[in-house]
Amino acid sequence: MASSFFSEYGLMWYLGELRKDEFWKFKELLKETPMQLGLQQMPWADVKKGTREDLANLLAKHYGEEQAWDVTFLIFQKINRKDLCEKAKKEITGHTKTYRAHVEEKFTTMWFRDSVTRIFDHIEKKLTPKECEYLKCLFAPLGTGKQTVVLRGFQGVGKTTVLMKLMLSWAEGAIYQKFSYVFYLCCREVRQMAVTSLAALICRDWSNSLSPIAEITSAPERLLFIIDGFEELRYDLSEPDADLCSDWMEPRPVRVILSSLLRKKMLPECSLLIAAAPRYPQSVEDRLECPEIRILGGFHERERKLYFCCLFQDKNRAIKAFGLVRENEQLFSMCEIPILCWTVGTCLKQEMERGHDLAVTCRRTTSVYASFLLNLFTPKGASHPDRQSQGRLLGLCSLAAEGMWTDTFVFSKEDLRRNGLADSDIPALLDARALHRHWNAESSYSFIHLCIQEICAALFYVVKTHADHPNPAVGSMETLVSTFLKKVNIHWVFVVCFLCGLSSEKERPKLEAFFGCPLRQQEVQLTLRQHLQSVLESEHPQEEVDFLSLCYCLYEMENETFVEWAVNLFRDLHLLIHDKLDLVPVAYCLKHCSALERLCVSTRNVFAQEGTDTSTSSNYLVRWYHICSVLTTNENLREFRIHQSNLQESSFVTLSSQLRHPWCRLQKLEINDVSLSGDSWLFFEVLTHSPDLIELDLSGTSLSRDDVMLLCQALQNPVCNIKKLLLSNCGLLPEDCEGFRGVLQENTKLKILNLSCNYLDTGILLLYEGLCHPSCSLNALVLGSCYISEDCWERLPEVLLCNKSLIHLDISTNTLRNENLSILCEALTQPGCCLTSLCLASCFITTEGCQDLAALLTGNPNLRNLQLGGNDLGDDGVRLLCMALINPTCHLEMLGLGMCGLTSDCCEELASVVVNCRTLRRLTLSGNALDHKGVLVLCQALRHPQCGLQWLGLRKAEFDEETQKLLTDEEQRNPSLQIIDD
C-alpha cells in the first residue's frame, strides 16, 4: 500500500484509536505478522516498552511507509478493527487525496507567482531542516490539549512564506501527517466576503459541492486551520457567545464564522495556527482557548552578514556596508526582516556604485529608504531621472498615499491607473521591485513591504498636497500628523516619521535634484509646530500626543533647534518604551529637555535579555544613560517614576548613579513593579545622597530580606529626609517588621508609611513597639490586607491611646471580629485618642457592628473621615449610623458606604443626614442597589438649603437613563456639587 500521505504521524493517529487491550494485542501480533509478509521481526524489547508514538516510529523505521501500513492493516483485521482499515483506505482514495493534489497545485502556482520569494535566490519551496524542526514543535501529539498556536512575527519576517512551504510539505506527506486536512485561510481574502458557511469556505476552490464535508468533519481532531494575517481582519473576537454559531453548514456573516471557529464554538476539537503581526489587539489572546504564543524570528546576525556578502559579491565592500549598518541599531534591527535586509543592502550597493558616502546614507532610516527609492528610478550611470521615471515614482507615491488613508495594501490595475500608472508601467515597477505581484491574484499588486509604501506616502506630501490627489479620501498633511501622533491608525507605523525625515535639510539636495524643483519640506515642520502648539492649548495634551511617536519624528527630522523647542513644551511625560530601539529616539529627545517637571517611564521587558548580545548592549546602555541623565541635567524635574521594568545589573547601576548624583533635585521617586538587581545597595544609598527626596514609592517591587535591611538602615540615617514611604505589595514578611520598628523609633521625619498587601501577621506587634516609642512622629499608617493576627487586634487600642502623632489608620481588608471592633471603637472614643481618619473597608463588619460604630461617631468629636465600603452593613446597619451622624456631637466630614448591601429603603435616612449633618462634605454610595425612587429622595435632599455636601460617589452607569439624567441635572443645578463615578 503506497502513499506518501501516510507518514508515522498518520499511523500514530490510527494507533491512538486502539483501546488499551487492543494496543497490547497489536504488539503481540507484531511477533508473527511481519514474517507472514516476508519481513524481518522488530526487536521485541523495543516493541514491548514502546508508546503509540514510539511504535509508529519503529514501524516506519524498520519497514518504510508502504510496508508499515501493510503490516498495520493486516493486524487491524486480526483484532477486528476493520473500521480503521476502511477509514484509512477512504483517506487514500477519497477526498483527502483530491484535496492534497489541489493544495500542491495551488501553492506551487502561488509560490512561483510571488515575486518576493524570487528576490532571494536561496529561498526554496521545501522547508529547511531548521524550519521543519520549528514547525514540528508547534503542535504536540494528539490528546495533549495543545491545539491553538499564535505565530507572531513582524510584517515581512516570512510568516506567509513559511506557511506556503508548510502547505506544500503537508501535501507531499513530509510534515503534520497527524492532520487529515490542513486548510489555509488568507484573512486579506476572507474579509472581502460577506456571508458564508464554514463548509463553503473550506470547499470553495477545490470542490464543486459540499459532499466532502461529512468526511472532513467526521474526525475534527485531525483538522488544522491556518489563519494567515489575522491582524488584517481587525476583529477583536468580542461577539457575545449567543451570537456565535456551532453549525458549519449554516451561512452566517464571515466575521461570526471566524469568531466561532477561533473561539472553539465550532469544531472545538480542531487545531488552529493563527499567524499575525504584533499589532492585533492583545485582548484577542484572552478570548482564545489556552493559546500557545510563539515568535517567528527573521535573520540572525550571521545570516544578515552572509546575505550582504551574497548581495555585494565583493567581500570587502560587503563588510564595509554591513559594518555601517551594524553601528545603526535601527537599520540593523530592520535587517532582521529578510525583505528589508534586501532593501537596505540593495540601497547601499547602489550608493556605493554611485560613489556616495555610505556613512551619510546610514545616518537615519529615512535617508536609506529615500535613497533606495530615488536610485530605483534613476537610470544607472545617470545623474538625474528622465520624465517617465519621475512620473512613475510620483504615481507610486500617489498610490501609496491612497492606500494609507483607505487601509489598502493590495491594489488592482484600476487603482494603479487612477493614480497615474499605466498598464505599460507595471513591468518596469515589477522589475525594479518597487511593487510585487500579489501571490493569490494575477492582477493584484503590493508594495514589497509596508515601509516602502509608507516612505512613498510620505514623499507624496513633500511633493504635492492632498488637494492634488484624485481620491478625496486622502487627507491633509495636518490631519495626517495629528492622526499619527494620536496613534489612531495602527497601520501607520512610520509614515509621519518618514515625512519628518524627508523635511531634513540633509535630505533636501537629493530630493530637489531628483524632482528638479523646490519641495514642501518647510511646510512639514511648520505643520508639526502648529499642531504641537494647538495641543498645548487642549485640556488633556497627553491624550493628543503619543510622546514616543513624537520622539521618532523628531529623531528623523535632525533639527536640534526644533527638537529643543518641541520637547520643552511638555512639563509632564509618560513614556511607554516597548523595545530597545525606542531608547534611541527617546534618548535623543530627552537630552534636549530642560523644562520637564514630571517623568514616568516604563521599559517593560526591554532589559530582560540584557547581555545576550554584547556587541549591541553597550550602545543601548549609552541610550539608557542619556534617558537617566535627565535626572541631573534638568533642574526642574521633581517627580520621576519608573514602572513595569526589568532592570538588569548594568541598567540598574546606571539609574542608581544618576539618582545619587549631587545635581539630582528629585523630590518624589516611584519605582513600581520593577525587578531590582543584586546591586540594590547602590539604589538605597540614594536616600542618604538626595537631600531633596521626600517621597519614595516602591509598591509592587519585590524586596528581599537584604533589601529591607538596607532600606531601613538608610531610613535611620540622620541625613535621610523621606517623609512618605509606600511599600505596598513588596513581598514583606513578619521578620521585616523588626527593621521598620527601628525606623519608627529613630526617624522623626517619616510621616506616612504604607505597608499594605504584605504578609505581616504577628510582625505587626513589632510595629506597635515602634509606634509606642516617644520619638515616633508618624501621622499615617496603612496596613490594609496585611493578615492582622488576633494578638495584634487586641493590642491595637492600647497603641492608639499611646501614640499622639498618628491621625490616619487604614486597616482595611483584614478580618475584624465584632468583639475586637467593639474594643477598638471604645478606645477611639477615649479623650487621649488623636485619630481623625479611619479606614475599615472590607473588614467583614455586619449590621451588628454598626452599634459600636454609631457610638464611635457620637463619642469621638475629632473623627473626620470614616471609610466602611465593602462591608455588609445593610439598611438596618446604616440606619444606626444615620442616627449618630445627625447627632450634634458628630463632626464627620467624609463617609464611605460603597458596596455595603444598601437598597433604596434607607435613602430617607441618608437624605436626613445630607440635610442635618452640618459637617458632612463627601459621601460615597456607589455599588449599592439603589433605584430611581431612592436616588430621587437623595436629590431632593441635595436641593435643601442646609445641605453642605460637595462630593457624592455614585456610578451613573449603574442606573437607567432616567436616573442618569436626574443626577446630571442635579450637578448642573448645583455647581458646588460633584457626582463622581468612583
DSSP code per residue over 31-57: TTHHHHTT-PPPPHHHHHH--HHHHHH
User: 810: closest CA among 770, 870, 857, 860?
Assistant: 870
Neighbours of 79 (CB within 10 A): 17
For residues 379 and 386, is the Cβ–Cβ distance under 8 A?
A: yes
DSSP code per residue over 539-608: S-HHHH--HHHHHHHHHHHT-HHHHHHHHTT-SEEEEE--SGGGHHHHHHHHTT--S--EEEEEEETTTT
Q: Which residues 6+ apart lie within 8 Å of 689 measured at CB? A: 660, 662
For residues 401 and 457, is the Cβ–Cβ distance under 8 A?
A: yes
At 93, the pLDDT band (50, 70, 90 cuts) reads: low
The amino acid sitting at 603 is T
User: 419: closest CA among 386, 451, 457?
Assistant: 457
Mean pLDDT, range 564-578, rounded to an integer: 90
SS3 assignment, position 980 = strand
Convert the pLDDT of each residue in 245-300 to its tens digit: 999 889 999 999 999 999 999 999 999 999 988 777 677 888 888 888 888 888 88
Q: Which three cell numbers stand for residue 804?
A: 499622639
| pLDDT for the residue 941 | 93
Convert the pLDDT of each residue in 117-171 to its tens digit: 555 555 677 888 888 888 888 886 544 555 899 998 888 888 888 899 899 988 8
Q: Which residues 6+ apart lie within 8 Å of 282 measured at CB? A: none
Mean pLDDT, range 914-920, rounded to an integer: 93
Convert the pLDDT of each residue in 396-445 to its tens digit: 999 999 999 998 888 999 999 999 999 999 999 988 889 988 766 668 89
At 816, the pLDDT band (50, 70, 90 cuts) reads: very high
Residue 26 pLDDT exceeds 90: no
Which residues are registered as beta bridge partners of 447?
435
For residues 475 and 465, is the Cβ–Cβ distance under 8 A?
A: no
User: How much of the chain, in percent, has pLDDT values that exceed 70?
Assistant: 94
| pLDDT for the residue 611 | 45
Question: Which has the higher per-residue pLDDT, 31 or 442?
Answer: 31
Mean pLDDT, range 623-633, rounded to an integer: 87
| pLDDT for the residue 554 | 96
SS3 assignment, position 888 = coil
| pLDDT for the residue 126 | 81
Convert the pLDDT of each residue in 361-390 to its tens digit: 999 999 999 999 999 999 887 878 889 999
For residues 747 and 719, is the Cβ–Cβ distance under 8 A?
A: no
| Mean pLDDT, the chain, whole residue set | 88
Q: Which residues 6+ apart lie within 8 Å of 725 measured at CB? A: 696, 697, 715, 750, 752, 753, 754
Residue 609 pLDDT exceeds 60: no
At 616, the pLDDT band (50, 70, 90 cuts) reads: low
For residues 184 and 190, is the Cβ–Cβ distance under 8 A?
A: no
Q: How far is the C-alpha of 774 from the C-alpha of 772, rounded, in Å?
A: 6
For residues 669 and 643, is the Cβ–Cβ distance under 8 A?
A: no
Residue 646 pLDDT exceeds 80: no
User: How much of the chain, in percent, has pLDDT values that exceed 90?
Assistant: 51
Is the Cα dihedral 480, 482, 485, 491 positive or negative?
negative
At 904, the pLDDT band (50, 70, 90 cuts) reads: very high
| pLDDT for the residue 28 | 85
- Counting every residue, how long is the chain? 982
For residues 12 and 178, is the Cβ–Cβ distance under 8 A?
A: yes
User: 6: closest CA among 90, 88, 121, 113?
Assistant: 88
* Candidate ranges 55-64, 315-324, 595-604; pick with highest mean pLDDT: 315-324
The amino acid sitting at 606 is V
DSSP code of 405? H
Min mean pLDDT across 45-49, 194-198, 712-716, 951-955 is at 45-49
Q: Which residues 6+ apart lie within 8 Å of 317 measured at CB? A: 349, 352
Mean pLDDT, range 877-898, rounded to an integer: 95
Q: How far is the C-alpha of 253 from the C-alpha of 236, rounded, in Å?
A: 15
Is the Cα dihedral 841, 844, 847, 850 positive or negative?
negative
CA 963 to chain centre: 37
DSSP code of 848? G
Neighbours of 788 (CB within 10 A): 22
Neighbours of 37 (CB within 10 A): 11
DSSP code per residue over 595-647: S--EEEEEEETTTTTTTSSHHHHHHHHHHHHHHHTHHHH-TT--EEEEEEE--
Q: Which contacts (CB < 8 Å, 24+ apart) does range 967-976 have?
A: 967/935, 967/939, 970/939, 970/942, 970/943, 973/943, 974/942, 974/943, 976/950
Q: Which three cell numbers stand for residue 411?
A: 491594489
| pLDDT for the residue 187 | 87
At 2, the pLDDT band (50, 70, 90 cuts) reads: very low
Which residues are registered as beta bridge partners of 586?
none
Convert the pLDDT of each residue in 521-545 to its tens digit: 899 999 999 999 988 887 777 778 8
| pLDDT for the residue 99 | 87
